[in-house]
Amino acid sequence: MPAAGMVLDEAGLRNVGARLAAVLRAGDVIALSGELGAGKTTLARAILGGLGHRGEVPSPTFTLVQTYPDLAVLVAHVDLYRLDKPNEVDALGLDDWLAEGAVLLEWPERMGKALWPDALWLRLEGAGEAVRRLTWQAPPAWKSRWPTG
């Protein structure tokens, strides 16, 4: 499926996060891809803020998984950067989490072909305070909730 995209500044990234929060539901996976510093965690923070979270949102780089069970949609924020093999994801129990919640997944490339086929794939390019380019691939499960063009 071809990717579509847009150019965003920091406020635009927060706006995208709010839009995603408004349509997020249990069983959803949002795959956040991009180089170090591209804004994956910033976008995850914006989604969590849009869902009503008002506290700190630490990067899950070292914990691998941060859960937010007190929101309208339960969310697991996951960072796979430190994983070496796709099968290491199994130990995180994300399939069980998806039964009642959603997953924001940084570094989805680490899953290889094991990534859920209905994941909304978002790729951020650029780093720091610079304007970023956001491209996405929206599977059929997201067609009515996310722009496709």
One pLDDT digit (tens) per residue for the chain, 149 residues = 335 667 777 788 888 999 999 999 999 999 999 988 888 888 999 999 999 998 888 787 778 899 998 898 999 999 999 888 888 888 888 899 899 999 999 999 999 888 999 999 999 988 666 667 888 888 988 988 876 54
Residue 148 domain flag: no
- What the block records as the tokens of 124 is 């951020």
Residues in the chain: 149
Q: How many CB atoms lie within 10 A of CB 12?
A: 14
| Domains contained in the chain, number | 1
Residue 65 domain flag: yes
Residue 133 domain flag: yes
Range of the domain at 34: 7-141
The DSSP line for 47-74 is HHHHTT--S----TTTTSEEEETTSSSE
At which residue do the structure tokens 């909304």 appear?
120
Q: How many CB atoms lie within 10 A of CB 49?
A: 16
Q: How many CA atoms lie within 13 A of 132 on its CB side?
A: 28
Please report, for the domain that includes residue 41, its CATH number. 3.40.50.300
